[in-house]
Chains A and B, each alone.
Chain A
Amino acid sequence: MKRYLIIGNSAAGVNAAATIRANDKTCSIKIISSETFNSYGRPLISYYLNGKIKPENIYYRDENFYKSSNIEVLLNTKVEKIDTIKKEIIVDLGEKIGYDKLLIATGSNPFIPPIKNLNFNRQKNVFTFLTYNDSIKLKEKITKNSKVVIAGAGLIGLKAAEGLFGQVASITVIDLADRVMASVLDKSEADIIQAHIEQRFISFKLQTSICEVQGGSNVSGVSLSNGETLKCDILIIAVGVRPNIALAKEAGIKTLKGIVVDEYMQTSIKDIYAAGDCVEFSDLLSDESKVFALWSNASSQGEVAGLNMTKIKTKAPKALAMNSISFFGLQLISAGIISNSKSGNNFICSVKNKLRKLNIFNDNLIGFVLINDNQRAGIYTSLISDKTKLSTLSYDITSRDIGFNVYSKDERTRKIWDYKGGY
């Protein structure tokens, strides 16, 4: 009986486990998770924070998933070491668990920047916002009088702000960039998002950063690099995430920014695979190796790893950066390269709270941003991932809303009849 071991119980780990079980009914599958809860929709932690979902609906798979698939899960368990020679891992209780095939799906860790007087582990009102536990602890701590400061106006920081809205006295978001979601959006799109969020009396301090925190075991305020000081009772650090590669690195597995894998998700050591936010992978558009902290990418890679671990040779497709997220009802969907600074011709159509931006380069769509204009977004995504020559389409995609009628009759028929999906 083959022994499959998976470190990590989120999108990559769970999808790998399900795929392994689908292809091998008799093997043993064990998932090790450092978290307290069974797999949950990680991006849903902000929905938990504001009560938009019931706690029982946060779970990614229903209650009997692990049992019915005969997958054993060890929660609250930290892996101390991977012994690649003996093919076993050592967990924090000293227990050794052997494997025939191992998947590392350890995800990301929040990045804690060096800030004077900040001691994340000891200060009781400083939070990160990446796990269900983070969200539960934050929810317990806040009161309607809380003054909240969030460091980071990226996706995580803004979702934390949305989750807290209406439950606290004030929310201030700080970012070094000149705009929100700077790694994803240009100024013109970011300004729409920011203005919409500001209507909820969430304030922004941009182009500045926290250089010092005040207080002892509780942070009482922050000093900014622009000279301002802000009082706060809750500080959330959301300046980004880093791939969790320590375990792999220590075991002698090749790592750069993330764990290095081949297109079959295998690491530099035989029988050890890695998938999800902890790996770096080839970018569809630039061919550069990058870390993609994306749910869909993690579940896809988990599946592909699961296939290869059960000897069904399958290549993982190159990754495409994309996001679909909303803030207070304003929907943002984007994919590919969208920055004006990169080569390409931007077509922008914008009215009030609505925006459609298409980035076209050399007869290819290489990126798009849609704000409150989302119905057929997947057709744009397909044009990017298929590298479709725009001149072969039935009309100029900048001239009207996109539809499946953009393809020629033959192409439409071919896709409708034969398309099978993909990773």
Chain B
Amino acid sequence: MRKIYAFESKCLGCGLCEIYCRTAHSRSKDIVKTHKRESITSAIVVEEILSSSTISYFALQCRHCENPKCIKACISGAMYKDDNGVVRNNKEKCVGCLSCVLVCPFGAIKKNDDGKTVSKCDLCVDSGEPFCIKNCPNAAIKFLSEDEARVLK
């Protein structure tokens, strides 16, 4: 299974991944309409690392764990693993209790702005390759199989 891996040395911290993540999960799939008319929470966290000499960044999203704690914590059965190993959240069933937020060791699940559900990376499985990957200007996030990722670790 392919997952998204971040390469800190390449990340500019521009936040385009978040913009495209919101667009990918919008109704309109249009970048302007998404941000003007819809309220969507991106499933990515862009983290900042401050050191005395530099600032660097990396984008973090759901790791689609083999044995996910979020699924066990989910009280409604909304969180599930699909047949391809992608951990997904069924928004119809999610009640926004944040039990998943409480156990995700990456802090990669966010409360949705609507307060009713949560937002997490679904690898854009319904629309092909992840939008964030396609639109990262510096290839700071890559969509890799575990074997490919190991080489680049």
A residues engaging B (CB < 8 A)?
Answer: 15, 41-44, 47, 52-53, 57, 59-62, 295-296, 299-300, 303, 322-326, 329, 331, 333, 335, 374-379, 381-382, 394, 402-405, 409, 412-413, 415-417, 419-423
Find out whether the CB atom of A377 lies under 8 angstroms from the CB atom of B98: yes
Nearest to B66 among chain A residues (CB) is A420
Interface residues of B in 95-121 (CB under 8 A from A): 95-99, 101-107, 109-111, 115
* Top 7 closest pairs, chain A to chain B, by CB: A421-B65, A376-B107, A421-B67, A378-B104, A296-B73, A382-B105, A60-B77
B107 and A377 within 8 A (CB)? yes
A404 B68 Cβ-Cβ under 8 A = no
- CB-nearest residue of chain A relative to B149? A417
Question: Which residues of B approach A to under 8 Å, CB–CB?
Answer: 5-6, 8, 45, 47-49, 58, 60, 63, 65-69, 72-73, 75-77, 92-93, 95-99, 101-107, 109-111, 115, 149-150, 153
Contacts A41-B95, A403-B45, A405-B48 aside, 14 further interface pairs with beta carbons under 8 A come to: A15-B72, A41-B75, A41-B77, A44-B76, A296-B73, A299-B72, A322-B103, A333-B101, A333-B102, A335-B102, A378-B109, A416-B5, A419-B106, A420-B67
Contact A415 B105 (CB under 8 A): yes
How far apart are the CA atoms of A140 and B140 in the complex, in Å?
Answer: 57
Contact B102 A419 (CB under 8 A): no
Report A292 CB to chain B, min CB distance, Å: 13
Complex A-B: 18 CB contacts under 8 Å: A41-B75, A57-B76, A59-B77, A61-B77, A295-B73, A295-B99, A296-B73, A324-B97, A375-B111, A378-B106, A381-B103, A394-B49, A403-B47, A409-B8, A416-B106, A419-B63, A420-B67, A422-B69
Q: Please report the C-alpha to C-alpha distance between residue A15 and residue B11 in the assembled complex, in whole angstroms.
A: 40
Contacts of A303 in B (CB 8 A): 72
B67 to chain A, nearest CB (A): 4
CB closest residue in chain B, given A417: B153
Most chain A CB within 10 A, of B5, B66, B76, is at B76
Chain B CB within 10 Å, residue with most, of A42, A403, A415: A403
A375-B110, A403-B47 known; A421-B95 Cβ under 8 A? no
Residues of B within 8 A of A47 (CB): 95
Evaluate whether A417 and B150 lie within 8 angstroms (CB atoms) in the complex, with A43-B97, A44-B76, A402-B107 already known. Answer: yes
Once A404-B47, A422-B67 are accepted as A-B contacts, the answer to whether A296 and B95 lie under 8 Å apart by CB is no
Q: How far is the CB of B100 from chain A (nearest CB, A)?
A: 8
User: Are A57 and B92 in touch, CB under 8 angstroms?
Assistant: yes
Contact indicator A404/B102 (Cβ below 8 Å): no
Shortest Cβ gap from A36 to chain B (Å): 18
Known: A299-B72, A404-B106. A378 touches B92 (CB 8 A): no
CA distance A300 to B153 in the complex (A): 31
- List chain B residues, Cβ under 8 A from A405: 47-49
Residues of the B chain whose Cβ atoms lie less than 8 Å from the Cβ of A419: 63, 65, 105-106
CA distance A52 to B93 in the complex (A): 11
Q: Which of A53, A335, A375, A413 contacts B95 (CB 8 A)?
A: A53
**Residues of chain A with a CB closer than 8 A to B150's CB:** 417
Q: How far is the CA of A41 from the CA of B72 in the complex (A)?
A: 12
Q: What is the CA–CA distance of A377 and B104 in the complex, to the nearest angstrom?
A: 8
**Chain B contacts of A374 at CB under 8 A?**
98, 101, 111
Name the residue on B nearest A394 (C-beta): B49
When the two chains form the complex, which single residue of B48, B103, B149 contacts A378, counting CB atoms closer than 8 Å? B103
Name B66's contact: one of A295, A394, A421 (CB within 8 Å). Answer: A421
Contact, CB under 8 Å: A416 / B6: yes
A44 neighbours in B (Cβ, 8 Å) = 75-76, 95
Q: Are A417 and B5 in contact (CB under 8 A)?
A: yes
Residue of B nearest to A301 (CB): B72
A377 touches B5 (CB 8 A): no
Q: Complex formed: what's the CA distance from A282 to B66 in Å?
A: 25
B91 to chain A, nearest CB (A): 11
